[in-house]
Structure 1
Amino acid sequence: MMKKVNVLVLGALIAMGLSSCIKDGETYDPNAQYEIEKPLIEAYAQEYLDNPNYKEFQGMRIWFEIVQPGDPGSYQYKVDENSGNPLFVPAEAIVSYEGRLVKTNTEFESKDDQKFIISLSSIIPAWQIAFLPDKLRYNDEGGLLDEPIEFGGLTEVGLQAGSVIRIVTPSYWAYQNQSQGSAIPPNSPLYFEITVSEIKDYEANN
């Protein structure tokens, strides 16, 4: 029987933490907000993705397209089981990306060769879902786990060196109802194209 671990739920908790600054008297209903965004997201995916697919998480669809799968087996996503509860082992990736607002197709950011720590606390949940595999299969030493652990990523093996992916995410898996400066308004569904040039285990002293 496959192990299950609420790794994705941790991502949701991170997203919920982003909404902790709601002013008194205001409420945030993620399901109601998603119903507003859903037709916009689907229309955007159909127009801007050449081969649109989607995967549903907690009733909300992330649309995606694998442009390049990357080098097979160039990276193994790992968990550390020594603590008693499986912990995802962070990775380090060199990434180029472009981000756009779905509502206007306006680019809000574009960067090349940026270093990211791929962990459950350093990137938005939509990126966690894009990077990590559907199932985690390896321990922290690179050996196969006795039983795979469900995570729920978009792809079977996760993003690899050379991978290129496009995603269209509801605001819930991005920044929810919190603005990010003047570039990203509250309740913004987002589009990303992510190109991974390198990925390896993260070493805290590097």
Structure 2
Amino acid sequence: MNKFLSPLFLGIVALALLNVVSCNKNDDIPIYNATEQFKTDSVLLKNYVDSWFPDAQYDAETGIWYEMLATGTGNYNYKIVDTLNAKHLKFSPTVKYVGKLLNGNIFDQTEAGKTSTFNIRTNTGYQYPFDSTIIPAWTFAFAPKRIGDMKLGGLTEKGLQKGSKIHIVVPSRWAHGSLAMGKIPANSPLDFVIEVVDIK
């Protein structure tokens, strides 16, 4: 009887230990909490802005800090395009930009003397507008606060115009979130200067 119980007992103990080890391995994997990360980012951004950009304004709805460096002379009128399935904000800006991490490292920028053009189609059916070709922070920078009765959540009343130049400092939730992208680590707030060369 003892010979039978001994291996059985050892097997049960081994399974229990394996379960504990498995649980510990799972416990080592951090669970992404967007709300907690946003709180962490908010503190980082406030300290960063206080140190480097004291004239920046805070948008309480998005947590984005921004400063208009030039308002622009264009008179582009943003429009909502109604399709069969959804309403979209469509526009094509041509820009020069620099994107930095908060440590000052540049992770992306337009080449000297060149521009980048984006064809943006943003679904307006959600609480905040999103587009797969740009990060949400750029949509907030470009879009007006509202078009008619539709609230878009943009940072400025008219949206960015030709000749506009804006400096935005954004929490990671409106950038790449918990994903690492090339030179951008996961959970990184980002700093952009965007100059609008043209918009159609």
**TM-score, length basis structure 2:** 0.74
Note the 1:20-35 alignment, pairs <5 A. Answer: 27-35=31-39
CA distance in 2, matches of 1:177, 1:124: 13
Unaligned segments of structure 2, at least 5 residues = 1-28, 122-130
Amino acid at match of 2:88: L
Query: Structure 2 residue aligned with 1:45, among 41, 46, 49?
Result: 49
1:19-62 superposed Cα distances (whole Å, 9 cap, x missing partner): xxxxxx653211111122222111212233252101123xx510
Amino acid at match of 1:93: P
CA distance in 2, matches of 1:84, 1:118: 17
In structure 2, the residue matched to 1:83 is 84
In structure 2, the residue matched to 1:115 is 117
User: What CA RMSD, in Å, does the superposition of the two structures yield over aligned residues?
Assistant: 1.7
Residue 154 of structure 1: SS of its match in structure 2? coil
Note the 1:66-105 alignment, pairs <5 A. Answer: 66-73=68-75, 75-81=76-82, 83=84, 85-88=86-89, 90-102=90-102, 104-105=103-104
CA distance in 2, matches of 1:175, 1:113: 23
Residue 191 of structure 1: SS of its match in structure 2? strand
Note the 1:1-206 alignment, pairs <5 A. Answer: 27-57=31-61, 60-73=62-75, 75-81=76-82, 83=84, 85-88=86-89, 90-102=90-102, 104-111=103-110, 112-119=114-121, 120-136=131-147, 147-181=148-182, 183-200=183-200
Question: 1 or 2 for the larger relative contact order (CA 8 Å, sep ≥6)?
Answer: 1
Deviation at 1:84, TM superposition (A): 7.0
CA distance in 2, matches of 1:42, 1:85: 36
Are the structure 2 counterparts of residues 84 and 106 from structure 1 closer, same or farther at C-alpha, using a change threshold of 3 Å? closer
1:121-161 superposed Cα distances (whole Å, 9 cap, x missing partner): 3111000000000012xxxxxxxxxx431111000000000
CA distance in 1, matches of 2:54, 2:109: 21
Deviation at 1:85, TM superposition (A): 4.4
**Which structure 1 residue ranges, 4+ long, deviate > 3 Å from structure 2?**
81-85
- What percent of counterpart residues are identical? 36
CA distance in 2, matches of 1:37, 1:151: 23
Question: Which structure: greater strand fraction?
Answer: 1
Residue 44 of structure 2: SS of its match in structure 1? helix
Unaligned segments of structure 1, at least 5 residues = 1-24, 137-146, 201-206
In structure 2, the residue matched to 1:16 is none
Are the structure 2 counterparts of residues 55 and 191 from structure 1 closer, same or farther at C-alpha, using a change threshold of 3 Å? same
Amino acid at match of 2:195: T
Corresponding pairs, count:
160
